[in-house]
Chain A
Amino acid sequence: MGLISRRSCFLNGAYGLQFMESTFTSTGTFINHSLEWFGDLGSFSWKVIRAAVTKPFEFRELIRQLDEIGSKSLPLVALAGAAVGAVLALESRSSLVRFGAKSMLPSAIVFSIIHEMGPVITGLVVSGRVGAGIGAELGSMKVTEQIDAIEASAVNPYKLLAVTRILACILVLPLLTLVADFSGVLAGWVATTLADPISFHRFLTKGFSGASFSDFLAPTFRTCVFGLIIGVVSCFQGMRTQGGTEGVGRSATSSVVLSSLFVILADVILVKLILIFFP
């Protein structure tokens, strides 16, 4: 019995050592890969910045991307904003009624949407739709040597493909956020008025009472940072694709996952900064 227990103890010890070793190895590999990824991202960003400030500018491609990223994301963003507005109205109503603060409902909806829900929902919806699209498109171009063909034609692919998409993301996100905000407030009013009729004008007046311009400006323009993140991460993941169609799939997925993750992290940091600078 004692022998068995000593043996199992020895085996457990050996297993424990092996487990610790493999854990350290995999942690080391993860750190190595992460550092390599950030290093490559830095190098990519430098090439993009250099391409962005040198002539000629690819205005035609920028306009195409504004349409592709902006106009075509509009219905989805409006729908997502409306859904959030309606749910917010339905959920908030019961809580506010319980605390006898029903009159605060318009303000609660408007402030929640403009401050947080509108920008974040827009960032996440765009990172899903546009991030996957850019990752897959550029990934496919990379594995079929189209990006090499652009470079061989003496055209800077960072300027033509990356700068235009990143700029379009930066410019379009605040505009899409306005759409999400508007449709969210509208749907919030519809949901509110179905339970307790109130005119749209009165809803807006109550909702925006006490709001200043900075309440609206800073949260909306923080989506420029979301656009930068979505554009840079998706273009980077797309342009470093390796491994055929499987690689294209991986790039599309990683573009969405990483850009969504960084949008959420940036949101936390930016909310804190906004609270500091616009108390």
Chain B
Amino acid sequence: MMPMSHTVTVPNSTNLPPAIIPGEPMLVIRDLHKSFGEQHVLNGINLTVARGETLTVLGRSGMGKSVLLKLIIGLENPDTGSISIHGQEIAGLGLDGMNLLRIKMGFLFQHAALYDSLTVAQNVSFPLERHTQMSESERGDRVKELLTSVGMEHDLEKMPSDISGGMQKRVGLARALALQPELLLLDEPTAGLDPITSGEIDDLILKLQKEHSLTSIVITHDLQSAKTIADRIALLEEGKVAMEGSFEDLAQSKNAFVHEFFKRDS
């Protein structure tokens, strides 16, 4: 698939991120803390994601995996610590600067979060309408191209309520890819799906990663999925990274929590 080139509109700001520096890590997270009231969700997360790498974040439910993604894209603010994308610390960015970074990120929500008053095609077209100079016909072609790449080319005019959970995830993925992001954040892309659909979504993510040379952070509970798509895995425990490494490294670990986590699934 040849991605169609398009111009992304840039918000006016004096506080914009610098140009991308080759060889620099895509994402650096240092000593990140986040609490909700008395509940400490993240207790000093440290992570680095290289350009083109797929990092899978595993962990028990309620360990703050989804919160981590929301902090990266600026939907939540950290209590302390730093998140740096393309070498730019996001804490100092204004709304325009943050939006410019968001344009370079794609986010697939856990339940797809499609706009339920818009059709499948309109959902994918939404970011294109707002951030590109494309004409209506160019946008239509790009939407078709994106939906074809996720196998949803026959459902353009359907409403999100008329398609299955797996199909919604595919459309969500197409929407996340609409602006050709450099960093893709996927929140449990296979959660609630049957094993066959999960496998299809994994294959789709792999295919898209290869085609677009994407850097991805994937949150999942699904070890099979992690094994298929991850270059590296980070396992969260008590709001911290308990262990990082390849799937094999973690599977052979003697750490009691890591061992328990992997044994339970196998």
Contacts and interface: CB of A to CB of B under 8 A. Distances in A.
Contact of A148 (B70, B131, B175): B70
A152 B175 CA distance: 11
A144 B95 contact: no
Nearest to B100: A154
Contact of B130 (A148, A151, A152, A153): A153
A154 B116 contact: no
A211 to B, nearest CB: 44
A156 B95 contact: yes
A155 interface: yes
Given A144-B111, A146-B116, A152 B95 contact: no
Chain B: number of interface residues, binned into ranges:
20 to 34
B113 A148 contact: yes
Interface in A123-159: 140-141, 144-146, 148-156
Nearest to B127: A153
B102 A154 contact: yes
Contacts of B73: 152
Contacts of A149: 107, 109, 113-115
Interface in B104-133: 105, 107, 109-111, 113-116, 126-127, 130-131
Interface in B57-79: 70, 73-75
Contacts of B103: 154
Interface residues of A, number: 14
Nearest to A145: B113
Contacts of A148: 70, 75, 109, 113
A145 B127 contact: no
A153 B181 CA distance: 11
Interface string B42-62: 000000000000000000000
A144 B116 contact: yes
B224 interface: no
Contact of B127 (A144, A146, A154): A154
Nearest to B130: A155
A153 B172 CA distance: 12
B86 to A, nearest CB: 15
Contacts of A154: 99-100, 102-103, 127, 130-131
Contacts of B102: 151-154
B111 A145 contact: yes
A148 B130 CA distance: 16
A144 B113 contact: yes
A154 B131 CA distance: 8
A149 B109 CA distance: 8
A92 to B, nearest CB: 45
A162 to B, nearest CB: 15
Interface string A215-259: 000000000000000000000000000000000000000000000
A241 to B, nearest CB: 15
A152 B126 contact: no
A140 to B, nearest CB: 8
Given A144-B116, A146-B116, A152 B111 contact: no
Contacts of A144: 111, 113, 116
A118 B262 CA distance: 69
Nearest to A155: B130
A152 B107 contact: yes
B75 A152 contact: yes
Nearest to B12: A55
Contacts of B109: 145, 148-149, 152
Contacts of B127: 153-155
Interface in B200-256: none
Contacts of B99: 154, 156
Contacts of B70: 148
A146 B113 contact: yes
A150 B123 CA distance: 10
Nearest to A55: B12
A144 B95 CA distance: 23
A138 to B, nearest CB: 12
Interface of B: 70, 73-75, 95, 99-100, 102-103, 105, 107, 109-111, 113-116, 126-127, 130-131, 175
28 contacts: A140-B116, A141-B115, A141-B116, A145-B110, A145-B113, A146-B113, A146-B114, A146-B115, A146-B116, A148-B70, A148-B113, A149-B114, A149-B115, A150-B115, A151-B75, A151-B102, A152-B73, A152-B75, A152-B107, A153-B102, A153-B126, A153-B130, A154-B100, A154-B127, A154-B130, A155-B127, A155-B130, A156-B95
Given A151-B74, A155-B127, 18 more contacts: A141-B115, A141-B116, A144-B111, A144-B116, A146-B113, A146-B115, A148-B70, A148-B109, A149-B114, A152-B75, A152-B109, A153-B130, A153-B131, A153-B175, A154-B100, A154-B127, A154-B130, A154-B131
Across chains A and B, which 10 residue pairs bring their CB atoms closest together, nearest first?
A: A154-B99, A154-B102, A145-B113, A149-B113, A152-B107, A153-B127, A154-B103, A145-B109, A148-B75, A152-B73
